[in-house]
Chain A
């Protein structure tokens, strides 16, 4: 199987279905350079000797995939979906209240007092023992109370409206995605499509996405600012997140919870595509992705950045820094959750230490399908 070829193709598709068309060559170059930079920065030396031919192909693929990144949306202030734009609105509301009613009064009155009642201003009134005046006291308490009540109302409203567990209202069924946090990459599984990806999180624009998250390692936090909330992913546990992109485009995705040396490289691109584009992409990946088997999973679960992962695979499989998998099943995600809980999950290859206590051989065996849920 001509892996590289497949990948080029997949990338091309990914790209084509992006209707975002403003890609200036300069920006392409920029993006390309950064991808490259990324690849060269990783600490492990295993990855350095990328054969030249492959490298150039990698460039092509990277260009194709990342080319129109001209505008990778970084922030919820530049929202790409309903959740982020509601959050922006909430932010603006709260900020406005605070600036107008808290900051401006203090900032305006303080200098006035300081000037009027400076030591040199002998003519201003001086009342050395004046230490109580009821109305002023009451106002000092009442002002903040009113502000807090105001804010509390919007907090109550929006916290419930934007609970990340709450499915988004839509006439379309949500796309199911299962996310597993590995050290230092996210694996996105599309159980209904039978595919998975690392480095790219593709989603159809206009359709809600229902995510379940867990971690195969330490605590992590999935965050795509331009689309919506962040949420922790933890071993043995499942958290949920609902997002939606309104229009095609790419957004920055990252991990916000420090988890070791590769932390800052645990980024990905959320690529919103047209619905048809998404379907075509999915079927492309299904037919040409790497088969997601035991062995590959094992490599993924090592502590590695994407570049290191690429090098660790028996042959490098990712010309563009991303990975696409076929044969992903719905069973994988629960298996990881259970494994972490029951005690069979491998800690990173570097580490495993026997628990100090060996008196309980029974403890080494995986727990029976854990009905005792970890709280």
Chain B
């Protein structure tokens, strides 16, 4: 790994690198704060009707998760390596399991209530 030694050896590069990483953390926390504040505010002041509020909360949450992955866990799409694949694969299974569960349980709930007695 030629690149490694070069990077590792050079103090100035390392300094730059550190700056960059520090900024990335600052960006991360700033974005995360915003993405937290917004939905809390919306809910606190009940600024929206129920269903659309739910989807907005969901959207904020998803974006914030991506932000965390990107800025705190340093996972990015440009990396074609195991961790990203692993995360995407896990997400796939997670979605299958959770969505399937909700689909099934919702159907069951609908079909198992006591019908109105004539």
Interface residues of A (CB under 8 A from B): 165, 212, 234, 237-240, 330-331, 334, 337-338, 373-375
Complex contact A337–B111 (CB within 8 A): no
Q: What are the residues of chain A within 8 A of B112 when measuring CB–CB?
A: 234, 237-239
Please report the total number of B residues contacting A with Cβ < 8 Å: 11
Contact (Cβ within 8 A) B114 A375: no
Whether A165 pairs with B114 at a CB distance below 8 angstroms is no
Q: Which residue of A lies closest to B111 (CB)?
A: A165
Q: In the bound complex, do residue B114 and residue A337 qualify as a contact, i.e. CB atoms below 8 Å apart?
A: yes
CB nearest neighbor in A for B118: A330
Point out the residues of chain A lying under 8 angstroms from B118, CB to CB: 330
Contact B105 A238 (CB under 8 A): no
> A330: shortest Cβ distance to chain B, in Å?
6
B52 located at the interface, meaning its Cβ lies under 8 Å from any Cβ of chain A in the complex:
no
The 8 A-B pairs with the shortest beta carbon distances in the complex, nearest first, are A375-B109, A237-B112, A373-B113, A337-B114, A238-B114, A334-B114, A238-B112, A375-B105
Task: State the total of A-B contacts with C-beta under 8 angstroms.
Answer: 27
- Separation of A330 and B118 alpha carbons in the complex (Å): 9
* A234–B108 alpha-carbon span in the complex (Å): 12
Interface string of B79-118 (1 = CB under 8 A from A): 0000000000000000000000000011011011111011
Interface residue ranges, B against A (CB under 8 Å): 105-106, 108-109, 111-115, 117-118
- Identify the interface centre among B106, B108, B111, B113: most chain A CB within 10 Å of its CB: B113
Subset of 27 A-B contacts with CB under 8 Å: A165-B111, A212-B115, A234-B112, A237-B112, A237-B113, A238-B112, A238-B113, A238-B114, A238-B115, A239-B111, A239-B112, A240-B111, A330-B117, A330-B118, A331-B117, A334-B114, A334-B117, A337-B114, A338-B114, A373-B109, A373-B113, A373-B114, A374-B109, A375-B105, A375-B106, A375-B108, A375-B109
Q: Majority SS of interface residues in chain A?
A: loop
Kindly list chain B residues whose C-beta atoms are within 8 Å of the C-beta of A234: 112
What's the least CB distance linking B100 to chain A, in Å? 15
- The residues of B that contact A165 with a CB separation of less than 8 Å are 111
Q: Which residues of A contact B114 (CB under 8 A)?
A: 238, 334, 337-338, 373
**B111 contacts which chain A residues (CB < 8 A)?**
165, 239-240
Give, as a whole number of angstroms, the nearest-CB distance from A167 to chain B. 12
Instruction: Compute how far the CA of A337 lies from the CA of B116 in the bound complex, rounded to whole angstroms.
Output: 12
Contact residues in A for B108 (Cβ distance below 8 Å): 375
Given contacts A234-B112, A239-B111, 15 further A-B contacts (CB under 8 A): A165-B111, A212-B115, A238-B112, A238-B113, A238-B114, A238-B115, A239-B112, A240-B111, A330-B118, A331-B117, A334-B117, A338-B114, A373-B114, A375-B105, A375-B108
Q: What's the least CB distance linking A281 to chain B, in Å? A: 23
Q: Which residue of A lies closest to B109 (CB)?
A: A375
Q: Which residue of B lies closest to A373 (CB)?
A: B113
Complex-state Cα separation, A375 to B107, whole angstroms = 9
Q: Complex Cα distance A212/B114, Å?
A: 9
Query: B117: which A residues are within 8 A, CB to CB?
Result: 330-331, 334
Least CB distance, A367 to chain B, in whole angstroms? 14
- Compute how far the CA of A212 lies from the CA of B115 in the bound complex, rounded to whole angstroms: 9
A102 shortest CB reach to chain B, Å: 27
A159 CB → nearest B CB, Å: 14
- Cα distance A334–B114 in the bound complex, in angstroms: 7
- Please report the C-alpha to C-alpha distance between residue A23 and residue B5 in the assembled complex, in whole angstroms: 95
Q: Determine the distance from Cα of A212 to Cα of B117 in the docked complex, in whole angstroms.
A: 11
Complex Cα gap A346–B114 (Å): 20
A residues less than 8 Å from B109 (CB atoms): 373-375
B residues within 8 A CB of A239?
Answer: 111-112
Residues of the A chain whose Cβ atoms lie less than 8 Å from the Cβ of B115: 212, 238
Closest residue on chain B to residue A237 by CB atoms:
B112
Q: Which residues of the other chain, B, contact A331 by a CB distance below 8 angstroms?
A: 117
Bound Cα distance from A165 to B106, whole angstroms: 16
For the complex formed, measure the closest distance between the CB of A234 and the CB atoms of chain B, giving whole angstroms: 8
Distance in Å from the Cβ of B34 to the closest Cβ of chain A?
35
Shortest beta-carbon distance, B29 to chain A, in Å?
39
Q: Give the distance to chain A from B111, nearest Cβ to Cβ, in Å.
A: 6
Closest B residue to A330 using CB positions? B117
A273 CB, nearest partner CB in chain B, Å: 25
**How far apart are A335's CB and chain B's nearest CB, in angstroms?**
10
Min C-beta distance of A314 to chain B, whole Å: 31
B residues near A237, Cβ cutoff 8 Å:
112-113
Alpha-carbon distance between A15 and B112 when the two chains are bound, in angstroms: 36
